[in-house]
Amino acid sequence: VEQAVATLLTEAREKHHKISLSVPDVEIECDKQKIMEVFTNLISNAIKYTNEGGRIEVIVEDRGEDIKCCVSDTGMGIPKEHLPKIFERFYVVDTSLTRESGSLGLGLSIVKEYVRMHGGKVWAISEVGKGSKFFFTLPKRQEEEKEKEKEKAKEEKGEK
């Protein structure tokens, strides 16, 4: 998470944003490059769609079997009718900012794909004029690792 924020600090400072992080010391089994891209896409969008001097918060919560992540901003928000579609490939909420940025509508679809690839879920809540919150969950261990541990436990008990 810190690495994703570090790559975007210049952009955030140019817009005088305040970025806060709350990240516990937790380890998960994942493709680190893909999960960094998830954070980078979400934080980059928060920076891009938040007016100058806004707040962006990144919170990671350890929930035992999984982690829950939230990237929130005080940006322009997304109209409710668009929320069900924002994770679709090439979907763009048409605003002057999206036209200026040349957004192709791929970032959030990549977020969804990478999170699902890891067995997690992704969703968003938003209010126009107040900002957005993007959430995702990731299991701490991938299914194949859980299966290996079950097999090992059975072998130790003498089961087959």
Rounded to 5°, angle at Cα 57 from 38 and 35: 15
For the chain, domain boundaries = 2-157
State the pLDDT at residue 138: 97
**Taking the model in full, what pTM does it have?**
0.84
10-60 confidence digits (pLDDT tens): 999 999 999 999 999 999 999 999 999 999 999 999 999 999 999 999 999
More confident residue, 52 or 149: 52
Q: 115-120 contacts: CB < 8 A, separation 24 or more?
A: 115/38, 117/31, 117/34, 118/30, 118/31, 118/34, 118/35, 118/142, 119/143, 120/66
Compute the chain's Rg from CA coordinates.
18
Q: Which tokens go with 124?
A: 């968003």
State the pLDDT at residue 95: 60
Average pLDDT of the chain is 88
State the pLDDT at residue 3: 87
Where would I find the beta strands (DSSP E) of 8-151?
18-22, 55-62, 66-73, 122-127, 131-139
User: Domain 2-157, what fold?
Assistant: Heat Shock Protein 90 (3.30.565)
